[in-house]
Amino acid sequence: MPWIARAAPAWLAIVLLTSAFVAVGRPAGASSLGGTPPCYDGFQTLQQVDDSFSWQEPTLPFRTARWSGSVFLLARTDTNCQIAEVRVEYGGTVGGTLTLNGDLFASFTVQYPESFADYGTVSANAYGSLADWNPPAGMGPGYVAETNFKINARGADEYVIQGLGAAAAVVDLRASFRVPLALLGQTVDAQIHVGTNLCACSVTPLTLPVSPYWDVYVHAHEDDWQAWQSPNAVWDYQSGDSVLLVYTTAGDAGNPPSYWQAREDAAEASVHWLVPSGPSEGSGFVTVCYTADVAVCHPVWTRTYGRAVSVYLRAPDGGADGGGFPSTNYETLEKLRDGAIGTLTTVDGSTTYQGWADFTSTLAAVINAYAPPDDRTWVNAPDFDRDRQTTHVPGCDPCPDHADHLATADAVYDITVAAGGPWNRAWFIDYPLGYADPRYPANLDAGGYATKRGLFMAYRDALYQETGIDEYTANAWFWENAFNRCYGRVA
């Protein structure tokens, strides 16, 4: 499906989009890479490292390889100053010189999360597609230049110079690799490898820039953003943004702690599906605070993986109707919102919220703790509009959305639209998609469907492994309807 940009919303503008949000539109004048507007033209050199080397075989036939040059980390932005392309470039504009003496070759690749020692595994961690190279593929004086495209399922490429025996000098050598934006913020290795296993002659670490943009996805349960707010979350991450996932409830459904803990693990399986493997991972309680008459603080459980941060607020699950469960004293977000209860304690007992304003202020503090308090941040939530979120199909007419979804929508509405919050915001349809409400026909293409299904099935598989519960098979028709749809609006 087309990549539809989201323009900055007009105040309280209600616009129903007929297809999914699949990218974040950047307001003109926003900064990137720590610079100031206007955006620079073309590529900017972020790092230049001399990666020259000289190697000689210690025994007969005493073959040699010598490289004189540098490797460059380059980036360019689009007209809205968003990082649009990152390249790792051997030789740069002036090129380098490679000298080979003997029947050996030099391989140029980009590796992540680590370089290789055995050339047989060159493709395992390779990333990046060739964007430009010199000399072109073919015969040269004493060498052959080879472009090996798509050496793995990620579509990574390799540039190779093969010596033909006699001494050969390749001048003005350049190989420029376009690196996936999903790796922004990570460190890749620019690797020049000589021979099958003769020499990992040059391995140069380069840390890719970090985009200043954040996409926040707030929803009630551990499987919600995958089902109702994707494939947007995937495309946001792949475009280079950081992603903050906030789960307002534990999704416990009145079950013992092992169940909601397994659901959190399953949600992280979706994150691992989203993020290329290799980045550091961490978890723990983080204290977030806001200022009322005095500073008010609450601990929240977080997990981090690459540029993805997950925050679990662990409010009790309210059930579909918001009535709650005996195991959590029938406390629910709906009741807290409506004033039916004055306090709400998290399922792990880590904190107690003293009213709805305390909870919503904490939610705002979570967002502010990670994402910029301006239009570089998009906050995505379930739609607060009851008509849009109510299903109308035979046998289920009307069927309201889950009570926790609606309470979460109201919480985000209170800190954004009602409070004049500084972030861009988008609102997504939930259960009507699963029920195939005719107002929301299938609108995702094969790629969008595969992405959404892959995310959800990563969650399903992990949950099944820990609990034996197969969330997909029990209602496959419902989830398949959801995988084919994504609807949202800006308001």
Tell me if 297 is assigned to some domain. yes
Q: Of the residues 207, 242, 265, which one is the last residue of a structural domain? A: 207
Tell me if 35 is assigned to some domain. no
Neighbours of 287 (CB within 10 A): 11
Tell me if 37 is assigned to some domain. no
Tell me if 417 is assigned to some domain. yes
Q: Residue 449 has what pLDDT?
A: 98
Q: Residue 113 has what pLDDT?
A: 96
Range of the domain at 371: 15-26+213-490
Q: Residue 298 has what pLDDT?
A: 98
Kind and range of the H or E element at 465?
Answer: helix 446-467
Same domain, 22 and 89: no
Report the number of distinct structural domains present in the chain.
Answer: 2
Q: Residue 79 has what pLDDT?
A: 80
Tell me if 396 is assigned to some domain. yes
CB–CB of 400/408 below 8 Å? Answer: no
Same domain, 173 and 266: no
**Could you give the CA distance from residue 427 to residue 420 in angstroms, rounded to a whole number?**
16
At residue 457, what is the residue type? M
- Sort strands 214-219 and 377-382 into parallel, antiparallel or unpaired: parallel
Q: Of the residues 166, 191, 207, which one is the last residue of a structural domain? A: 207
Same domain, 21 and 86: no
Same domain, 190 and 222: no
Q: Residue 429 has what pLDDT?
A: 98
Same domain, 200 and 217: no
* Residue 118, burial from CB neighbour count under 10 angstroms (0-12, 13-18, 19+): exposed
Same domain, 217 and 203: no
Same domain, 175 and 273: no
Q: Residue 11 has what pLDDT?
A: 22
**Could you give the CA distance from residue 209 to residue 181 in angstroms, rounded to a whole number?**
10
**Could you give the CA distance from residue 356 to residue 12 in angstroms, rounded to a whole number?**
23
Same domain, 253 and 181: no
The per-residue pLDDT string of the chain (491 residues; one tens digit each, 9 = 90 and over) reads 222 233 332 222 222 333 333 333 333 223 333 344 456 678 999 999 999 999 999 999 999 999 999 999 999 998 877 899 999 999 999 999 999 999 999 999 999 999 999 999 999 999 999 999 999 999 999 999 999 999 999 999 999 999 999 999 999 999 999 999 999 999 999 999 999 989 999 999 999 999 999 999 999 999 999 999 999 999 999 999 999 999 999 999 999 999 999 999 999 999 999 999 999 899 999 999 999 889 999 999 999 999 999 999 999 999 999 999 999 999 999 999 999 999 999 999 999 999 999 999 999 999 999 999 999 999 999 999 999 999 999 999 999 999 999 999 999 999 999 999 999 999 999 999 999 999 999 999 999 999 999 999 999 999 999 999 999 999 999 999 999 999 999 98
Q: Residue 239's domain is classified under what CATH number?
A: 3.40.50
**∠ CA 433-436-438 to the nearest 5 degrees?**
110
Same domain, 196 and 221: no
Tell me if 32 is assigned to some domain. no
Tell me if 5 is assigned to some domain. no
**Could you give the CA distance from residue 228 to residue 222 in angstroms, rounded to a whole number?**
11
Same domain, 253 and 304: yes
Q: What is the DSSP string of 203-269?
A: EEEEEPP--S-EEEEEESSTTHHHHHSTTHHHHHHHTT-EEEEEEEE---TT--HHHHHHHHHHHHH
Tell me if 470 is assigned to some domain. yes
At residue 295, what is the residue type? A
- Sort strands 187-194 and 105-111 into parallel, antiparallel or unpaired: antiparallel
Instruction: Spell out the SS3 assignment of 138-151.
Output: EEECCEEEEEECCC
Q: Residue 82 has what pLDDT?
A: 84
Same domain, 87 and 123: yes
Same domain, 305 and 233: yes
Q: Residue 81 has what pLDDT?
A: 79
**Could you give the CA distance from residue 39 to residue 371 in angstroms, rounded to a whole number?**
22
Q: Of the residues 192, 207, 222, which one is the last residue of a structural domain? A: 207
